[in-house]
A and B are shown apart, each in its own frame.
Chain A
Amino acid sequence: MILQQQISVELNMRNSPSDPPCQSALFKGGHQNITFHQHVNPSQFIVWELLQDGPICRRLFSNSGNFWHTGTISCNIPELAAEMIHSLFLINHSGDIFLEKHWKSVISRSVCDYFFEAKEKAVDPENVSPVLQTPHHYLITIYRDKLFFLSVIQTEVPPLFVIEFLHRVADTIQDYFGECSESVIMDNVVTVYELLEEMLDNGFPLATESNVLKEMIRPPTILRSVVNTLTGGSNVGDTLPTGQLSNIPWRRAGVKYTNNEAYFDVIEEIDAILDKSGSTVFAEIQGVIEACVRLTGMPDLTLSFMNPRLLDDVSFHPCVRFKRWESERVLSFIPPDGNFTLMNYHVSSQNLVAIPVYVKQSITFFEMGPCGRLDITIGPKQTMGKTVEALMVTIHMPKAVLSANLTPTQGNYTYDLATKVLVWDIGKLNPQKLPNLRGSLSLQAGAPKPEDNPSLNIDLKIQQVAISGLKVSRLDMYGEKYKPFKGVKYLTKAGKFQVRT
């Protein structure tokens, strides 16, 4: 494949001694087209020759064909880039590169400068565009857990491919070490490096299944590290993980437990936008079934629901047999060992979405004098007879609000002066005595009154219920003789739950 190579060459040529030297020229395309960087006067023309052997030399001519400058320039043409992900840089919140990994020839970390530039411009790290273009590379970045995962790409590749992979890397680190932070990565830098080596070969993902990786590189435990120091053993497996070869790459072979157990958590999040009057602008339920399966051997599980028709749109772990879902609406699968996400689903029909709480609020800023009033009351609406817990209200106040002097009837509140975020932590919602927060806000003197009221973000939890009404009816196991412990837990949370004021 002939790639459109862009080669930047340092030129040091000038028309007359007084002219400034041309800084650089861009040579583009299959040895034919030459486009100039802006520093080069466009009226000049460069003819160049490519000598096959030895360093690459070019001779320069003016456009009239007259011999103009005999200087030869040699430069290294970068190799034809053939891989998807070329390099990975991990960057912390304050902009230090603390880890780099190259799957091919080394790319200078100065390439990250383009990213830093973009980061400067976007005030918030979340506002940095995930895809950036630099003269020679493309940068695809994800921001997670206060870390930037920056990958360098040289050729066309589906951006989602890279983004998904980077998230998979972050997931794996999380899975191995319990959290994904700079200190944890630096403490385990060698393991992380080994993982990256296994996950990507020549820029193409190789093994990304946590089960497979864990067989090749064992996660560190205190016991094992002690044993290893004593015996000289290692954390690296010397045989090919069996999963890698089989049709079920997600499960490792020879799993053994004394207690066989399979637990499923059905977790639903309500995403909603309520308007001023409390009516629903938009609401949907986002559900996920997290599984923790510790079963010996090769169990084949079937999970069925009382009301599978509720599920509007689903996505599965690769282990789920899609055909059986299509025909019978049951989840049939050979599970990976350990924790995994079995499925994600979506319930969107608006009438089905119960809104568990109502909010009465009034936030006013007075035209006269630098102050305002705030009064919020929260009460239960459709809670399915359960208690609303961990109730919390977060408000991003306008910049002009200096301080808040409020009195909560329940829980306590904080107002962060720097970020202008008001957090009211309520806790359990008591239907007999509704929590209320009221008081005054003081504004910066002289500043104009804020035009709009901030919206409220609400967090809450309801145990023991899936708000969509989804229920698991049974779990059956085939293929193994023993009787496992089984359990299903339900939980409802507020997702992006916003009340406009």
Chain B
Amino acid sequence: MLESNKDSLKLEAMKRVVGLIAKGKNASELFPAVVKNVASKNIELKKLVYVYLVRYAEEQQDLALLSISTFQRALKDPNQFIRGSALRVLSSIRVPIIVPIMMLAIKEAAADLSPYVRKTSAHAIQKLYSMDPDQKEQLIEVIEKLLKDKSTLVAGSVVMAFEEVCPDRIDLIHKNYRKLCNLLVDVEEWGQVVIISMLTRYARTQFTSPWKEGAMFDENNEKAFYDSDSEEKKDQTEAQPYIMDPDHRLLLRNTKPLLQSRNTAVVMSVAQLYWHLAPKHEVNIVTKSLVRLLRSHREVQYIVLQNIATMSIQRKGMFEPFMKSFYVRSTDATHIKTLKLEILTNLANEANISTILREFQTYVKSQDKAFAAATIQAIGRCATNISEVTDTCLNGLVLLLSNRDETVVAESVVVIKKLLQTQPTQHSEIIKHMAKLFDNITVSMARASILWLMGEYCERVPKIAPDVLRKMAKTFTAEEDIVKLQTVNLAAKLYLTNSKQTKLLTHYDIRDRTRFIRQLIVPNEKSGALNKYARRILLAPKPAPVLESAFKDRDRYQLGTLSHSLNTKATGYLELSDWPAVAPDQSVRNVEVIEPVRNPDTLLIIVLLHACLILTHKSGSESEEESSEESDKTSSDSGKSSSGSEKSSSESEPEQKKKKKMTKAPQKKSKPTANLCLLRFIPVFPMSLQVTTPSFGPVKTYELLHHMTGKGLSAKYHFSRQPCLYQPSMVAVQVILTNSSDHSLEEIHIGDRSPASLNIHCFNTIERLEPEASVTVSMGIDFSDSTQAANFQLCTKEDQFSVSIQPAVGELLMPSTMTEQDFSKEQGKLLGMNETSATITMATANTSSQAISKQVLCAANVGVVSSSANNFHRFAGRTVSSRALVLVSLELKESSTALLTINTEKSVMASMLLRDLKQALAQA
């Protein structure tokens, strides 16, 4: 039919072909027949052929080339529609050979009179770029041209192309910024979304922060919305007035009407723009619109609720008046319910908690049991956050223990356990009550929680705990691992507090398993030292768990993005940069918080792991035997208790058992080698392992403030040797602040500096540093290429400490890469006064070229220049502030002497650097 003379027949045939494509069936063998019709006069036929071509051209490149000439002709057609579609299809055919043709077509189309064609060319830019990234430079030129376009039609598409091809070329935007802001309202909806998101990033690099120092994150739970308002006013009068850049204001003003858009994506993007850019008190205007979006489709609700959840953590006040909009309906989808619950929990405060709890009571009764369980968790969070209601919540939860549904009971137990941990006193009644319920509960997590509670507070329930343990011993083998673990824990704890009663248990099977802990408790040769600490390890007061929102850390991502929704970094996610320059930024995002004290549980595990290692080492050969024994035992449970007690006489047994326990807890019947043991064990427990990022050179850490002089606050700093984010003329310094006092320190910030003109980019005020906690913050300091110390005051709420950072001259440099030829050329320009040299004696260990590089790079932040001669070493760098070249060359002479030459305009630096390098190379 495709060969037919009649258009109507051809059309019919093409429709069938397209039908095949739509169903995902292969229609590629028709390619030759189809491609002939590309020049057809019938517009519908033509379009269908286009559809076909775009789909199969990649597979049949040679044949596809036949159609190219038709498109080239169509590009000159007087009808703009035809020109546009020809370019669309041409650029959609992914055949690498036609790249030059496409490039030409794009350039021509970008200058077309019709804005529609220009729009198409903007789209084509992205397609060409994705096919051949080498065309980038030329494409940027076209983008630059199209950005100047005044048509609203083009604006969205070209910004899209900009975001794809060269999102970092922010300089292209400067001149078009105001135009884009003004056009924004008239751009089509989809373009608006793209432009707004681009302008958000732009504004964050160009304007100073409208937020007061550290104001971004201080409106947390403690501070209610109302006093933050008044405080803000106070701040304004005290701090020097912040004047918003008129362009910044322009952006905010022009995006505001778009909150009324019918397009939810536009509303969301304006909301995130206000969130990330607007002064605090203005953000509230987006609330109503976001709440309105909740009436939209379910999928929209889901995304909007996710974003509100993140926002509501930081700023309760924004959504509190709309609390009732987040009430859950029984017909909501599960993920919507959970998100609403999350938000309600975030919004809870002293004033509204009773309303919220009443609402939660309804949810607990829900038929959706998973949701009921989530509600119980939420109640737990409210109870920990708002101390006034803890008791009410606790009582409510205890009532739930008699609920008929198992999941509800189990969840209540787990939450009660967490709550009791925060308030361990006077709750023995509840513990007793739970002990009674113990037999009826079958969910292992809940059972384990009760056992844990028993053990932890066994002193308060001296009679019940041993009973429970006895019961447990009988059913031990049938329990799940987590329950077993807690049983053993309970036994050990009981032994310590109440050894008499526990001894009654010796003939029970459980003793088998407890032996490894007894190893700790009962003195013996190998682990005698551990014994001392046993009590401390096992019965150390555990820090109460923090029940916090799952959305706590989502503010890392720009709101409204896919990354935010998934809470992982999506491909192609562009970071939102911090506010630049003088005004404080919210670099809190960059701060790595080092975990406070390790959880004692973790400590225990580490101790055990060590013991395990020693033991495996010793009893290496026996391990095989043991494992087979082990599997025997699990299979025949009945004979176990007797065999267990017999074995206890031999001394070497406990070691093996201990190891057995280790392998068994995480995974049954694993082959017990030390390696595996460790590997498998670690993931079971949530240990916080700090992974430090590798840095290029060796990092020297200097003391900034000793904890004695700092009244508990100690600070260390090092030069991160990376380009400073804030200003290129600054040297990046990382400061690690540690609180070694016993109380928390508040409002750590940088105060007066001297000389007053010193340009420092301060870190954000740290609101609170708990005892034993430390944070790493980054600063930028402009030393102006001098080693003069930067003096400033490190302030806490109560005190001020004068500190100074004195950089070694090597830290004032940035590596510079160049070839040997360039090096010689540049060196030739810097002779005479600009050259300093000395003959130096090197330590013998330093004569190898590797050692030399290491020492030099350690002393100065320079780059290695590859050298053709063995006895010549060259290094190049630039000063950070004035970008003056610094060239270091080292010529090795006999008997570990060498000629060190430094060429630079900065003669003072040269002599200092010479001294430093001399010293570095002289020491072994």
B562 at the interface (CB under 8 A from A): yes
Q: Which residues of B have CB within 8 Å of A498?
A: 329-331
Q: Which of A306-324 contact B (CB under 8 A)?
A: 312-318, 322-323
Contact across chains for B167 and A158 when beta carbons are under 8 A apart: no
B152 at the interface (CB under 8 A from A): yes
Q: Which residues of B have CB within 8 Å of A159?
A: 303, 560-562, 565
Query: Which among A201, A236, A281 is the interface contact of B324 at CB below 8 angstroms?
Result: A281
A116 at the interface (CB under 8 A from B): no
A18 at the interface (CB under 8 A from B): no
Of all chain B residues, the one with the shortest Cβ separation from A157 is: B562
Q: Which residues of A have CB within 8 Å of B269?
A: 158, 160
Contact across chains for B568 and A201 when beta carbons are under 8 A apart: no
Q: Which residues of B have CB within 8 Å of A239?
A: 79, 81
Give per-residue flags for A90-113: 1 if the beta carbon is below 8 A from chain B beta carbons, else 0. Answer: 000000011111101110010000
Q: Which of B127-135, B609-617, B631-639 contacts A (4 or more CB under 8 A)?
A: B127-135
A369 at the interface (CB under 8 A from B): no
Query: Which among A97, A122, A229, A316 is the interface contact of B262 at CB below 8 angstroms?
Result: A316
Contact across chains for B299 and A142 when beta carbons are under 8 A apart: yes
Q: Which residues of B have CB within 8 Å of A232?
A: 6-8, 11, 42
Q: Which of A194-211 contact B (CB under 8 A)?
A: 194, 197, 201-202, 204-206, 208
Known contacts A127-B335, A193-B18, A204-B123; A451/B43 CB under 8 A: no
Known contacts A79-B130, A161-B190, A204-B123; A240/B362 CB under 8 A: no
Of all chain B residues, the one with the shortest Cβ separation from A455 is: B330
Q: Which residues of B have CB within 8 Å of A126?
A: 298, 333
Of all chain A residues, the one with the shortest Cβ separation from B367 is: A398
Q: Which residues of B have CB within 8 Å of A1?
A: 164-167, 572
Of all chain B residues, the one with the shortest Cβ separation from A314 is: B260
Q: Which of B161-193 contact A (CB under 8 A)?
A: 164-167, 185-186, 188-190, 193
Q: Which of B793-811 contact A (CB under 8 A)?
A: none
A83 at the interface (CB under 8 A from B): yes
Known contacts A133-B568, A163-B264, A240-B80; A202/B92 CB under 8 A: yes
Contact across chains for A82 and B22 when beta carbons are under 8 A apart: no
Query: Which among A104, A158, A245 is the interface contact of B562 at CB below 8 angstroms?
Result: A158
Contact across chains for A282 and B327 when beta carbons are under 8 A apart: yes
Contact across chains for A138 and B562 when beta carbons are under 8 A apart: yes
Q: Which residues of B have CB within 8 Å of A247?
A: 152, 186
A235 at the interface (CB under 8 A from B): yes
B403 at the interface (CB under 8 A from A): yes
Give per-residue flags for B41-54: 1 if the beta carbon is below 8 A from chain A beta carbons, else 0. Answer: 01111011011000
Q: Which residues of A have CB within 8 Å of B120?
A: 201
Distance (whole angstroms) from the CB of B340 to the closest CB of chain A: 12
Contact across chains for A273 and B327 when beta carbons are under 8 A apart: yes
Contact across chains for A167 and B23 when beta carbons are under 8 A apart: no
Contact across chains for B404 and A102 when beta carbons are under 8 A apart: no
Q: Which of B104-112, B288-296, B761-769 contacts A (4 or more CB under 8 A)?
A: B288-296
Distance (whole angstroms) from the CB of B425 to the closest CB of chain A: 33
Of all chain A residues, the one with the shortest Cβ separation from B42 is: A234
Known contacts A82-B127, A130-B303, A232-B6; A238/B334 CB under 8 A: no
Distance (whole angstroms) from the CB of B557 to the closest CB of chain A: 10
B210 at the interface (CB under 8 A from A): no
Of all chain B residues, the one with the shortest Cβ separation from A244 is: B116
Q: CA–CA, A143 to B335, complex, Å?
A: 14
B160 at the interface (CB under 8 A from A): yes
Contact across chains for A197 and B160 when beta carbons are under 8 A apart: no
Q: Which of A380-420 contact B (CB under 8 A)?
A: 396, 398-399
Contact across chains for B22 and A101 when beta carbons are under 8 A apart: yes
Query: Which among A190, A206, A451 is the interface contact of B18 at CB below 8 angstroms?
Result: A190
B88 at the interface (CB under 8 A from A): yes
Q: Which residues of B have CB within 8 Å of A129?
A: 302, 335
Q: Which residues of B have CB within 8 Å of A496?
A: 329, 331
Q: Which of B327-381 contact A (CB under 8 A)?
A: 327, 329-331, 333-335, 359, 362, 365-367
Give per-residue flags for B67-88: 1 if the beta carbon is below 8 A from chain A beta carbons, else 0. Answer: 0000000000001111010001
Q: Which of B16-40 contact A (CB under 8 A)?
A: 18-19, 21-24
Give per-residue flags for A184-198: 1 if the beta carbon is below 8 A from chain B beta carbons, else 0. Answer: 000001101110010
Query: Which among B188, B333, B334, B570 is the interface contact of A156 at CB below 8 angstroms?
Result: B570
Query: Which among B91, B193, B404 is the interface contact of A448 at CB below 8 angstroms?
Result: B404
A255 at the interface (CB under 8 A from B): no
Contact across chains for A315 and B570 when beta carbons are under 8 A apart: no
Contact across chains for B268 and A204 when beta carbons are under 8 A apart: no
A436 at the interface (CB under 8 A from B): no
Q: CA–CA, A402 to B366, complex, Å?
A: 19
Q: CA–CA, A330 to B58, complex, Å?
A: 54
Chief secondary structure at chain B's binding surface:
helix
Most chain B beta carbons < 10 A, residue from A1, A105, A109: A1
Query: Which among A5, A189, A341, A451 is the interface contact of B19 at CB below 8 angstroms?
Result: A189
B126 at the interface (CB under 8 A from A): yes
Distance (whole angstroms) from the CB of B343 to the closest CB of chain A: 14
Query: Which among B116, B265, B288, B366 is the interface contact of A158 at CB below 8 angstroms?
Result: B265
Contact across chains for A193 and B335 when beta carbons are under 8 A apart: no
A3 at the interface (CB under 8 A from B): yes
Of all chain B residues, the one with the shortest Cβ separation from A325 is: B260
Q: Which residues of B have CB within 8 Å of A204?
A: 123, 126, 157, 160, 190
Give per-residue flags for B90-121: 1 if the beta carbon is below 8 A from chain A beta carbons, else 0. Answer: 01101000000000000000000011100010
A14 at the interface (CB under 8 A from B): no
Query: Which among A156, A237, A273 is the interface contact of B563 at CB below 8 angstroms?
Result: A156
Contact across chains for B55 and A201 when beta carbons are under 8 A apart: no
B267 at the interface (CB under 8 A from A): yes
Q: Which residues of A have CB within 8 Å of B334?
A: 122, 124, 127
Give per-residue flags for B239-272: 1 if the beta carbon is below 8 A from chain A beta carbons, else 0. Answer: 0000000000000000001001111110111000
Most chain A beta carbons < 10 A, residue from B47, B166, B267: B47
Query: Which among B55, B84, B565 is the interface contact of A240 at CB below 8 angstroms?
Result: B84
Q: Which residues of B have CB within 8 Å of A127?
A: 333-335
B204 at the interface (CB under 8 A from A): no
Q: CA–CA, A462 to B115, complex, Å?
A: 49
Give per-residue flags for A454-477: 1 if the beta carbon is below 8 A from chain B beta carbons, else 0. Answer: 110100000000000000000000
Q: CA–CA, A152 to B855, complex, Å?
A: 52
Q: Which residues of A have CB within 8 Å of B23?
A: 98-100
Contact across chains for B18 and A315 when beta carbons are under 8 A apart: no
B869 at the interface (CB under 8 A from A): no
Query: Which among B115, B265, B569 is the interface contact of A161 at CB below 8 angstroms?
Result: B265
Q: Which residues of A have CB within 8 Å of B367?
A: 396, 398-399, 450, 452, 454
A24 at the interface (CB under 8 A from B): no
Query: Which among A122, A142, A281 is the interface contact of B297 at CB below 8 angstroms?
Result: A142
Q: Which residues of B have CB within 8 Å of A141?
A: 299
Distance (whole angstroms) from the CB of A358 to the closest CB of chain B: 20
Contact across chains for A234 and B43 when beta carbons are under 8 A apart: yes
Interface residues of B (CB under 8 A from A): 6-8, 11, 15, 18-19, 21-24, 42-45, 47-48, 50-51, 55, 58, 79-82, 84, 88, 91-92, 94, 114-116, 120, 123, 126-127, 129-131, 133, 152-153, 157, 160, 164-167, 185-186, 188-190, 193, 197, 257, 260-265, 267-269, 288-289, 291-292, 295, 297-300, 302-304, 324-325, 327, 329-331, 333-335, 359, 362, 365-367, 403-405, 560-563, 565-566, 568-574
Known pairs A158-B193, A193-B51 / 11 extra A-B pairs, C-beta < 8 Å: A99-B22, A101-B22, A105-B58, A131-B302, A142-B299, A158-B562, A189-B19, A204-B123, A313-B291, A398-B367, A452-B365
The 9 closest A-B pairs by CB, nearest first: A155-B572, A234-B44, A452-B365, A240-B81, A82-B130, A236-B44, A130-B299, A205-B190, A156-B573
26 A-B pairs in the complex with CB atoms less than 8 angstroms apart: A1-B165, A100-B23, A130-B302, A138-B562, A140-B299, A142-B297, A143-B298, A154-B571, A156-B562, A159-B561, A159-B562, A160-B560, A163-B265, A164-B265, A190-B15, A190-B18, A190-B19, A201-B120, A202-B127, A245-B114, A247-B186, A249-B188, A281-B359, A315-B267, A341-B262, A498-B329
